[in-house]
Chain A
Amino acid sequence: MSEEHYYLELCENPVQFENASSVNNVFFDEANKQVFAVRSGGATGVVVKGPEDKSSVAFRMDDKGEVKCIKFSIGNKILAVQRTPKSVDFINFIPDYPHLEFSQECKMKNASILGFCWTNWNEIVFITDQGIEFYQVLPDKRSLKLLKSQSINVNWYMYCPETAVILLSTTFQGNVLQPFAFKSGTMSKMSKFEIELPVVPKPAKLNLSERDIAVANMEGSCKKTNVLKLNTTGKFALNVVDNLVVVHHQSTQTSIIFDIKLREPDCALNVHQPVLPPRSIHPYRIPLTGPSAVPSQPPVPCELYSSSWSVFQPDIIISASEGYQWYLQVKLPPTVNLLQDKGKLIDFLLRRRDCKMVILSVCSQMLNGEDKGSLPVVATVFDKLNQVFKEYLEAEQTYTVAMESGPSRGSTARERPVRTQAVIDQSDMYTHVLSSFTEKKDVSHKFIIAVLMEYIRSLNQVQITVQHYLYELVIKTLVHHSLFYMLHQFLQYHVLSDSKPLACLLLSLEGTYPAAHQLSLDMLKRLSTANDEIVEVLLSKQQVLGALRFIRSVGGNDNISARKFLDAALQTADQMLFYTIFRFFEQRNLRLRGSPSFNPGEHCEEHVVYFKQVFGEQALMKQATV
């Protein structure tokens, strides 16, 4: 199968640990994402590896019985080990504190500890079959203090470390879930909820086990009214990656993904179908290491979906028998060919994390190639992208305004809006898609221009100012295909907004298209900051009088360079014109300085000479007598 076939893969550098065996027990702590390899109950060593750790933590502890559960508190400060149903043992790992063990029994009589969770570096929760106990660990005193407890019959529990919420399965059938939240040293009971069971067994018995539930933290609100249609039966395991719910099906050795943010607007209950056809995780090869390995031996394929696999939230897969811990990853490029509806594909990609280059490649593909999209499809894609772009721009603007107006009265501190990869701006589109698209030889020019106009329309529709380089692209394409009449109409209706670069581009086209001169002057006038440019244009056309009258009409005649105008007048070889211009500047000199002669700094000496030559010395303006 080609690379394009698989959209899920295991990460490249898994955490390796000693595989589970008769002497080695492996435990995984979901909260810290640490793998514990406990040899001989700890007597011959415990090796702890975590995702961030450069090196592993290794230590020995006394073998006081089979370890049932072992977890570090946050920051690896205190180790908790459960060996019996009634108590949990603790070892300090804080520098300068002795390595001695201390123990805590659960408070409720006759209760069995189902497990425990650290909620802080020194706070721990015991979950027993009769309730929940919240303790503070005092490492210096080597003892625990009970902060709060709650009696409740518990079947099993699940912990969500990101939000520090423990879910307890209560009632006989086990489908009423009671959450408790732990924050800043307090425990609070949240509202319980019930999971619907498809079949109610008679007599009622425990019908929902922890294997049926996965708790994951997803962005945004996540009501429980989302149903995932699996369309098959069997054993399933769940991961959450990049805001996608990945369901692994062991018997078919495939996985499917659900995008639960995709919702029908009017539905209370969202029933989701898989977004893509089922596929296996990308085959994985394990390089052979160890004393028996030969370096030249090729890596061995790893068994996927094996029964020794365990899946942890949100995106962790562990193979205890092989000794690997992987992160599951989504590969976006293969998804492009699996979703035919471009609108849906873009919606899907916009919700993913590393989506920018994939989205841009979808745009390129849509415009080139055999399966090029029709204009309505192109328009839809542009609109979706620009909607996201606009939302980001508005968020940025709100932030800037709030920052500039000083500290806000509200208590919430403003956060700078994050620019996700889904924000695709004009520069991205120009560089990666449009620029090369307009140069294609095998695409009809009608289509090229129609696409550019759709993009401009789409930007205008959400009131984003179009950058001038996009207009330049339109003009260049029109000129290249000699579609001058079209260009004229676009400018007439101000479809291509005024800017100095555009006016200059138009001027440069005058040779090929004479009307460009008029269009350019119009644009410069509308810009109202381009008077100098207008004068230059008029002078270049030998319209010296026109230039002079224009600059006078905008009140700039005192600032212009006499030399420039006299040069231009000389060029026309029209002596009367030269006379008029010369006289004008003599009058200006008189008005500004009280004398009709030119300043040396004006460099008009040769013009004075020429004037005297042609018209005689007596034609020069006389000094006004006081």
Chain B
Amino acid sequence: MWPIFDYGRFVSIISSSDVYGVVWMRSLAQLHKMANLRVLVGVKRVIDYAVKIRVKPDNSGVVTDGVKHSMNPFCEIAMEEAVRLKEKKLAKEIIAVSCGPAQAQETIRTALAMGADRGIHVEVTGKSIDGDNNQTGQMTAALLDWPQATFASEVTKENDHLKVVREIDGGLETVKVTLPAVITADLRLNEPRYATLPNIMKAKKKKIAKHKAADFGVDLTPTLEVVGVEDPPVRQAGQKVESTEELVAKLKDSGVV
């Protein structure tokens, strides 16, 4: 379902929870001593992370009208990592891509102001937010048959592969992925810089290519239907007990054990 760009070999950095957050890097490692990677960063406009989310009265979704939106913070982190790679001269070109309605172009422009060289907008109608689904990176890697390193908190380039430190439940895991690859960004990967005014002005000249999903022969018919969205149940008050015996007794009484 994801439009595939025919750029050859890629490495991707993706924001973990964002459906459209994808970064591909093109490696010309065989041709140059220093890899000249091209980085594709997916960016998406979502409800601002600090907003208190409210469910719509008809339970069909969450309230988005009049609610503050901004670039997904994970996308900012992915962009920042790409910019750092370019500053270290490991990446040659950064391309920002966003799939969404016309407003997605604003998000791409912000990415251009942060340091992307050009943008791609694939027009897709309908609203969506950050569903925290944690699927895009993994799906992309599977579709492209590329290695993936998700929840990255540190990315280092070594010769013709990447060393990625991942945050997992048990601690930190270090993996090695050959290029091209897909990487998803986690919270502690970096602290994104502010788009400086000089860069904002430079972004004026940068181009955004516009496409429709149909241009890539992609069928957008959804295969998933959201049946309902609800508030989580209100947390019940707990009970305090004085001793372990009392705790066990209460658990037995309530039939839990």
- Are A and B genuine complex partners? no
Binding site for A on B (CB under 8 A): none
